[in-house]
Structure 1
Amino acid sequence: MRELDRRAIQERGIPGEVLMEAAGKACVQAVRELLPGERTGRVLVVCGRGNNGGDGLVAARHLHQGGCAVEVFLLGDPVALRGDAALNRDRWQGLGQPIRSVRAAADLPAESIASADVVVDAIFGTGLDKPVRGLESEIIRALNAAGRPVVAADLPSGVSADTGAILGEAVRARLTVTFGHLKPGLLFYPGAALAGAVRVADIGLPPLEWSNSPRTWLMEETDLAAAIRPRPADAHKGMFGHLMVLAGSEFMPGAAALCCKAALRAGAGLCTLIAPEPVLQRVLCGAVEYTGAKLLDFETLQQQCRGKQALVVGPGLGQESATTERVQRAAREIDVPALFDADGLNLLAGHLDRLLEAHAPRIVTPHPGEAARLLSCSAAEVQADRLAAARRLAVRTGAVTVLKGARTVVADPAGEAFVCPAGNPGMASGGTGDVLSGIIGGLLAQGHPAPEAARLGVYLHALAGDRAAEVRGQRGLVAGDLLEFLPLVLRDVERSVPRG
Structure 2
Amino acid sequence: MYIVTAEEMYGIDRETMDSIGVDGKILMENAGREVSREIKKRITKKDVILVLVGGGNNGGDGFVVARTLHVEGYNVKVVQVVGDEKIKGDADYHKRLFLRCNGLIIYLDSLGDEVKYMIKDSAVVVDAMVGIGVKGKLKEPILSIAQNINESNKQVIAIDIPSGLTAEEHHSEFYAVQADTTIVIGALKQSLFLQNTASFYGDWVMASIGFPSEVIRRYTDKQWWDQEAFQSFFPKRKENSHKGMHGRGLVIGGNHLMPGSVMMTTKAAVRSGAGLTTMGTSKAVISMMASSCNESMYIPIQEQDGYLSDASEIDYSAYDAVAIGMGIGREKVTHQLIQNAITAVKGILLIDADGLYHTKEQLHVLPSRQTPTILTPHPGEFASLLDVSISEILQKPFSYSKEFAVKYGVYLVLKGKFTIITAPTGRQVVESGGNPGLAKGGGGDVLSGIILAMVMQDQPIFEAICNACYLHSASADNLVKEKHSVYDLTATDIIEGIPNALRTLTSSE
Equivalent residue, structure 2, for 1:372: 383
Report how far residue 91 of structure 1 moved: 3.1
Report how far residue 382 of structure 1 moved: 1.4
- CA gap of 1:328–1:106, structure 2 versus 1, over 3 A, is farther
- Which letter maps to 1:393? F
Report how far residue 226 of structure 1 moved: 3.2
Identify which of 355, 361, 365 aligns with 1:344: 355
Report how far residue 232 of structure 1 moved: 4.0
How is 1:56-455 mapped onto 2 (pairs within 5 angstroms)? 56-95=62-101, 97-103=103-109, 106-163=112-169, 165=171, 168-207=174-213, 209-210=215-216, 212-284=218-290, 286-296=292-302, 300-301=311-312, 303-446=314-457, 448-455=459-466
Structure number with greater CO (CA < 8 Å, separation at least 6) is 2
Report how far residue 206 of structure 1 moved: 3.0
Report how far residue 298 of structure 1 moved: 8.9
The question of whether the paired residues in 1 share the 8 Å contact of 2:450 and 2:468 is answered with yes
Identify which of 491, 499, 502 aligns with 1:479: 491
Report how far residue 253 of structure 1 moved: 0.9
- CA gap of 1:409–1:104, structure 2 versus 1, over 3 A, is farther
Does 2:40 align with 1:3? no
Report how far residue 428 of structure 1 moved: 0.5
Report how far residue 75 of structure 1 moved: 2.2
CA distance in 2, matches of 1:448, 1:145: 50
User: Residues 276-319 of structure 1: CA distance to partner in whole angstroms, max 9, x if unpaired?
Assistant: 33333333354422222122499854742122111001101112
- CA gap of 1:62–1:251, structure 2 versus 1, over 3 A, is same
The question of whether the paired residues in 1 share the 8 Å contact of 2:234 and 2:459 is answered with no
Does 2:53 align with 1:33? no
- CA gap of 1:468–1:165, structure 2 versus 1, over 3 A, is farther
CA distance in 2, matches of 1:64, 1:446: 54
User: Residues 61-119 of structure 1: CA distance to partner in whole angstroms, max 9, x if unpaired?
Assistant: 22222223322222231244222222233333445544333359944433211222221
- Equivalent position SS for 1:100: strand
Equivalent residue, structure 1, for 2:305: none
**TM-score (ref. length: structure 2):** 0.90
User: Residues 341-379 of structure 1: CA distance to partner in whole angstroms, max 9, x if unpaired?
Assistant: 011111112431222111111111110111111222211
Report how far residue 212 of structure 1 moved: 4.6
Between 1:149-158 and 1:65-74, the stretch displaced more is 65-74
The question of whether the paired residues in 2 share the 8 Å contact of 1:313 and 1:340 is answered with yes
Does 2:496 align with 1:490? no
Percent of paired sites with the same residue: 32
The question of whether the paired residues in 2 share the 8 Å contact of 1:461 and 1:486 is answered with yes
Identify which of 462, 469, 476 aligns with 1:458: 469
- Equivalent position SS for 1:392: helix
Report how far residue 495 of structure 1 moved: 2.7
Any stretches of 5+ residues in structure 1 without a counterpart?
none
Between 1:446-455 and 1:474-483, the stretch displaced more is 446-455
Identify which of 11, 16, 21 aligns with 1:13: 21
CA RMSD between the two structures: 2.4
- Which letter maps to 2:18? Q
Report how far residue 447 of structure 1 moved: 5.1
CA distance in 1, matches of 2:484, 2:121: 42
Report how far residue 403 of structure 1 moved: 0.8
The question of whether the paired residues in 2 share the 8 Å contact of 1:164 and 1:188 is answered with no
CA distance in 1, matches of 2:73, 2:223: 39
CA distance in 2, matches of 1:418, 1:252: 32
- CA gap of 1:333–1:131, structure 2 versus 1, over 3 A, is farther
Between 1:465-474 and 1:485-494, the stretch displaced more is 485-494
- Equivalent position SS for 1:339: strand
- Equivalent position SS for 2:455: helix
What number of residue pairs does the alignment pair up?
495
- CA gap of 1:300–1:351, structure 2 versus 1, over 3 A, is closer
Equivalent residue, structure 2, for 1:45: 51
Between 1:57-66 and 1:416-425, the stretch displaced more is 57-66
Between 1:286-295 and 1:398-407, the stretch displaced more is 286-295
- CA gap of 1:368–1:208, structure 2 versus 1, over 3 A, is farther
**TM-score (ref. length: structure 1):** 0.92
CA distance in 1, matches of 2:227, 2:454: 17
CA distance in 2, matches of 1:335, 1:292: 20
Between 1:306-315 and 1:285-294, the stretch displaced more is 285-294
CA distance in 1, matches of 2:46, 2:215: 39
The question of whether the paired residues in 2 share the 8 Å contact of 1:78 and 1:99 is answered with no
- Equivalent position SS for 1:26: helix
Report how far residue 167 of structure 1 moved: 5.5
- Equivalent position SS for 1:472: coil
- Equivalent position SS for 1:250: coil
CA distance in 2, matches of 1:415, 1:361: 14
Report how far residue 41 of structure 1 moved: 3.8
Equivalent residue, structure 1, for 2:5: none
The question of whether the paired residues in 2 share the 8 Å contact of 1:342 and 1:366 is answered with yes
